[in-house]
């Protein structure tokens, strides 16, 4: 054994002096759409200078609804790059969604890449601007819209600092920016001039892209854009003022009897969708979800919609009910049922209701029930029931 020691020692010496083996590269973690955490920031007010014709496409690195970051360099192979600034909430943007999908499908084989970017800061979107939508412009809501609408193009979020949108300068949603192979701006403006779906088919955008693909000068290189103004983060001041105004509105609680309830359900006087929520201060789920009903009111009250609350607290607990309503700033039409027979109320509201609260029902102007739900509400489902009703709608 001793005769092998010199050899062993030499081996150990060489091993110690040898360059260490390279460390394994850390695995790159892929962010999923659900893991990405949006973080909208306030942005100093500044002049927004629109990108001019002939300018280079500004670079970007933005998170998409697919959970991946997208950059300008990812699309170098495209003959034409179309960047469309759009969003969830705007009625005009929603009116053009199908046309944008059709354009993407028709031009994909021609080497045209479409990218949609949401430029809006959620900090700058007020509740009363959401009256045509079931969704806000938050990243989480973008995931829902892209899935439900089956977008066939990347949908990217720029709502944190709006740095990319500030470079492009979109005035409204939707607005298209068309870049040629050298990524020079060749067209900027509308998709077409008629908002109503089923009329035109993104004619202006198609004509511009056809010119670029053919190597021609774009005949109509710039148009004005009609739509919702870009919600820059400095517009958060408007949201603060709107909230302060809401907090100052008076809160009242009126009593109602069976005859009054029956009149509410007939809904012959409003010409609106009438949403009624029955709740009580002692009902935990009622209290927890009630503020979300007030959000619905603030979203849709500018449309043909109204929200009415009915407290089912005992007749001698009106003061407690009012205190809760004041705490939540429920400056809507609030009633307290003071009848002696709660089961008579149940039958008057809805024979299909078994009496458990919370209970929510919505009737149209003819008194027809268009929505009913016992227990806590799925507010996304309820918002869709409202905005997709013919009396409301998603666009003009």
* CB distance 170 to 185 below 8 Å: no
Residue ranges covered by each domain of the chain: 61-235, 247-387
CA R_g for the chain:
29
247-387 has the same fold as 61-235: yes
Residue 21 pLDDT: 46
Q: Among 119, 108, 15, which Cα is nearest to 62's?
A: 119
∠119-208-231 over CA atoms, to 5°? 15
What pLDDT, on the 0 to 100 scale, is given for residue 35? 85
279 has which bridge partners?
A: 311
Q: Is 39 exposed, middle or buried (0-12, 13-18, 19+ CB in 10 A)?
A: exposed
Res 396: pLDDT = 86
Alpha carbons 30 and 106: distance in angstroms, whole number: 31
Apex CA 167: angle with CA 105 and CA 129, to 5°? 70
Q: pLDDT value at position 328?
A: 98
With the C-alpha atoms ordered 186, 191, 194, 200, is the resulting torsion angle positive or negative? positive
Mean pLDDT by 10 residues, the chain (396 residues): 37 40 47 85 96 98 98 98 98 98 98 98 97 98 98 98 98 98 98 96 98 98 97 95 96 98 97 98 98 98 98 98 98 97 97 96 98 98 98 95
222's tokens: 């710039």
- Maximum Cα interatomic distance, the chain, rounded to a whole number of Å: 111
The single-letter DSSP state of residue 303 is S
Pick the CATH number of 247-387 from 3.10.580.10, 3.40.710.10, 3.40.30.10, 3.20.20.70: 3.40.30.10
Q: Which pair of tokens denotes residue 382? A: 């309820």
Are 208 and 178 in contact by the 8 Å Cβ rule? The answer is yes
| CATH 3.40.30.10 assigned to 61-235 | yes
Cβ–Cβ < 8 Å for 195, 97: no
């Amino acid at each position: 054994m001793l005769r092998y020691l010199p050899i062993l020692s030499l081996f150990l010496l060489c091993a110690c002096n040898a360059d260490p083996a390279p460390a394994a590269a850390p695995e790159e973690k892929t962010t999923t759409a659900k893991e990405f955490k949006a973080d909208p920031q306030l942005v100093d007010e500044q002049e927004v200078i629109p990108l001019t014709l002939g300018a280079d496409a500004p670079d970007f690195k933005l998170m998409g609804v697919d959970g991946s970051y997208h950059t300008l360099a990812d699309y170098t192979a495209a003959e034409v790059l179309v960047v469309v600034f759009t969003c969830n909430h705007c009625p005009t943007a929603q009116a053009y969604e199908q046309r944008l999908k059709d354009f993407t499908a028709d031009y994909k084989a021609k080497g045209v890449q479409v990218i949609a970017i949401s430029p809006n800061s959620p900090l700058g979107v007020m509740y009363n601007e959401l009256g045509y939508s079931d969704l806000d412009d938050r990243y989480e809501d973008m995931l829902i819209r892209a899935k439900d609408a089956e977008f066939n193009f990347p949908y990217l979020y720029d709502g944190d600092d709006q740095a990319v949108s500030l470079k492009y300068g979109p005035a409204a949603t939707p607005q298209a920016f068309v870049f040629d192979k050298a990524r020079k701006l060749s067209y900027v403006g509308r998709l077409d001039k008629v908002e109503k779906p089923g009329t035109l088919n993104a004619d202006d955008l198609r004509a511009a892209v056809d010119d670029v693909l053919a190597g021609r000068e774009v005949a109509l290189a710039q148009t004005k854009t009609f739509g919702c103004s870009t919600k820059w983060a400095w517009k958060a001041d408007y949201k603060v003022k709107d909230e302060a105004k809401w907090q100052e509105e008076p809160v009242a609680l009126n009593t109602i009897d069976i005859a009054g309830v029956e009149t509410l359900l007939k809904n012959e006087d409003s010409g609106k969708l009438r949403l009624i929520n029955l709740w009580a201060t002692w009902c935990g789920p009622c209290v927890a979800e009630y503020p979300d009903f007030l959000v619905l009111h603030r979203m849709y009250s500018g449309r043909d919609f109204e929200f009415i609350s009915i407290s089912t607290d005992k007749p001698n607990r009106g003061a407690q009910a009012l205190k809760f309503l004041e705490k939540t700033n429920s400056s809507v039409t609030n009633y307290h049922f003071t009848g002696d027979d709660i089961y008579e109320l149940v039958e008057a509201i809805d024979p299909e209701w078994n009496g458990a609260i919370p209970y929510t029902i919505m009737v149209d102007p003819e008194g027809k029930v268009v929505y009913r739900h016992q227990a806590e509400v799925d507010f996304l489902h309820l918002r869709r029931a409202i905005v997709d009703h013919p009396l409301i709608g998603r666009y003009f």
